[in-house]
A and B are shown apart, each in its own frame.
Chain A
Amino acid sequence: MDFSIFLIQCLNALQYGLLLFLVASGLTLIFGIMGVINLAHGSFYMIGAYMAFGLAPIVQSSFGGGFFATLLVGLFLAIVLGYFLEWAFYSYLYEREHLQQVLMTYGLILVFEELRSLIIGDDVHGVSAPDFLSGSIALGDTMTYPVYRLFMSAVCILLAIGMYLVFTRTRLGMMIRAGSSNREMVQSLGVDIQFLYRVVFAAGVAIAAFAGMVAAPVSSVYPNMGSQVLIICFVVVVIGGIGSIRGALLAALLIGFVDTFGKVLLPQASGVLVYVLMALILLWKPQGLFKAG
């Protein structure tokens, strides 16, 4: 493998890992703070990607269009959706057993997938990147790398930094961290935990949908894209240690590299590598790399 190919694969691995991190961070937050196993998280990613596809023409006609306008409208809709879902469904699940949560969120997956099929259909669609990001830059003499993938990585890094700052520097972040380690105590100190949950859930949905929107031009949109992402995100969350954002970042990058280089170096075993990695890590550290806290 010569150097420029190696470099390109590194960039791909980084971009894939960062994208996984975005989706998985919402999952780990919702599990770590609210104690809900949310199987429908992959559907939010799918919804985001389909919004990037479906909203573009509508935004085009009503606001004059543009990729970023679509992103903003989609983000807004995702927050509203998250807020609504928490109010209508998830707020009833906190007191329930984990298996009841699994059952309900499984039902939600079926509903979301079928609504998608009713509204948009079952075809695979491409989403075009904005013009100014659709070029490529030269790497070495013969290789090029698409600008849009670099843009994706940059957006993911910015969001990750933003999340880090919110967590460590703001009052809201402090309440979220406190809520994840002891929710009764936080509640008894006078924090409106119900509101906090709703915000965290809406943020988790919005981040997953945003990841889907940003990824749509690269991955295109197709049925069942949600469930593929869901399983790999659970792998990320578990390897990183449930509830740990730092762990999710490390695990997502690890999986990004293992998966990308696995596809290049050992194409016949690429699918299985990620799971071998997870089994090895969990046998070595049964609680994941970083215990939550």
Chain B
Amino acid sequence: MPSKPSAAFVFVLAFFATLALYPLVGGKFGVDLVTKIMIYAIFALSLELLVGGTGLVCFGQAAFFGIGAYATVLLSPSSDPAGLALWVFAILAASIYAFVVGALSLRTSGVYFIMVTLAFAQMAYYVVHDTPLGGGTDGIYLYIKPVFGPFDLDQPNTLYFVTLLSLIAVFVFLARLSVSRFGRTLAGIRVNEQRMRATGFSTYPYKLAAFTISGGLAGLAGFLFAVKDGFVNPEMLSWHLSGAVLIMIILGGIGHLRGALIGAFAFALLQELFKSEAIFGAFAKHWHLGLGLSIIASVALLPRGLVGVPAQLQERLWGRSSRRAQSLGDTDVSH
């Protein structure tokens, strides 16, 4: 931590404080929506560790999310509510699959890596889609929600705070990770893997460890999602979701953990905005159009993602010199 709190640090603190206070004003619908978005934010953070932290673009992240969710439902006891063990098993299941996929697909790189991770995700998708194990296309229901000690996850507000705590924990974990020796090594791999190897790092185990951790975090998001909806279906493993979460972190700005937060919220809120019949009337049915146009506009106007907006504004207002100072400050603190 730097001695003087940076703007990014203050932003993240304010962000989490707002989320903690939100249930006081948000109704039932709002709490449910924000719970969902926070789960997506955890999911996006898991991918940011790979894409922004290590330079590995994974196009099969939904598989780990879906496996976490399916494990939650399939391993739930049918009579009394499950406890913390279920949480552990869901994360473990996703991590194990991530370990296997990573071990094989890290043999390739670049666009080939993107496609191999897609291939393994599609395999998982078809396994739950076409076999009786996962209930086929209909999906399966989770009838009894887990209870963590005094916290009954069937209560929307309890689930909201458990999700918020998970989000904060994941964020802090990744922020600490990025300044650790391990995280520095991953950043080195992202910038120049050849050079890291030349300096004596065996890069493969580092990448595999990052991939496995990322899969586990996506599994955590999957667990929360299954508990929130009480329902899982194969679409949770589809490439559309892998694509959507990738879009979230690009929209927010790759290379910053808060980019994943901002991206997840921006993506989901834009969706809600264009879906809202109060604003767009009958045209709300065609909400994809508004979403698509905003995404294109963001590429055209915000090359550094939403995270780069303050720096861009400063550049506009004060000229270039302050932008340089800002960007130096940015690389220092990778929140």
Contact = CB atoms under 8 A, between A and B. Distances in A.
B46 to A, nearest CB: 17
Interface string A256-280: 0000000000001101100110110
Contacts of A24: none
Interface residues on B, range: 35 or more
Interface stretch (A57-65, A92-100, A194-202, A205-213): A92-100
Contacts of B33: none
A106 B123 contact: no
Contacts of A102: 246-247, 250
A109 interface: yes
A234 interface: yes
Contact of B239 (A231, A269, A279, A288): A231
Contact of A278 (B111, B116, B251): B116
Contact of B286 (A104, A114, A227, A269): A114
Interface in A81-114: 89, 92, 96, 98-100, 102-104, 106-111, 113-114
A80 interface: no
B289 A100 contact: no
Nearest to A96: B303
B81 to A, nearest CB: 35
A154 interface: no
Contact of A279 (B57, B116, B240, B243): B116
A283 B112 contact: no
A288 B112 contact: yes
A276 B124 CA distance: 11
Contact of B292 (A37, A99, A110, A276): A110
Contacts of A96: 299, 303
Contacts, number: 118
A103 B119 CA distance: 21
Contacts of A110: 288-289, 291-292, 295
B127 A272 contact: yes
A117 interface: yes
Nearest to B121: A275
Interface stretch (B22-30, B82-90, B101-109): B101-109
| Residue among A96, A109, A272 with max Cβ neighbours from chain B (10 Å) | A272
B134 to A, nearest CB: 13
A137 interface: no
Given A238-B115, A286-B108, A275 B122 contact: yes
Interface in B255-290: 286, 288-289
Contacts of B118: 231, 234, 275
Interface residues on A, range: 35 or more
Given A114-B289, A272-B122, A282-B108, A103 B295 contact: yes
A134 B250 CA distance: 48
Nearest to A117: B286
A90 to B, nearest CB: 11
A103 B298 contact: yes
Nearest to B289: A114
Nearest to B249: A99
Contacts of A279: 104-105, 116, 119-120, 123
Contacts of A286: 107-109, 112
A104 B295 contact: yes
A100 B249 CA distance: 11
A255 to B, nearest CB: 12
A31 B120 CA distance: 23
B104 A107 contact: no
| Residue among B57, B109, B251, B295 with max Cβ neighbours from chain A (10 Å) | B295
20 contacts: A31-B111, A89-B296, A99-B51, A100-B299, A102-B247, A104-B295, A106-B295, A111-B289, A111-B296, A115-B289, A117-B286, A235-B119, A268-B131, A271-B130, A272-B122, A272-B123, A278-B116, A283-B108, A286-B109, A288-B112
Given A104-B296, A235-B115, A275-B123, 9 more contacts: A103-B247, A106-B292, A106-B295, A107-B293, A108-B296, A118-B286, A272-B127, A282-B119, A283-B108
Interface of A: 31, 37, 89, 92, 96, 98-100, 102-104, 106-111, 113-115, 117-118, 227, 231, 234-235, 238, 242, 268-269, 271-272, 275-276, 278-279, 282-283, 286-288
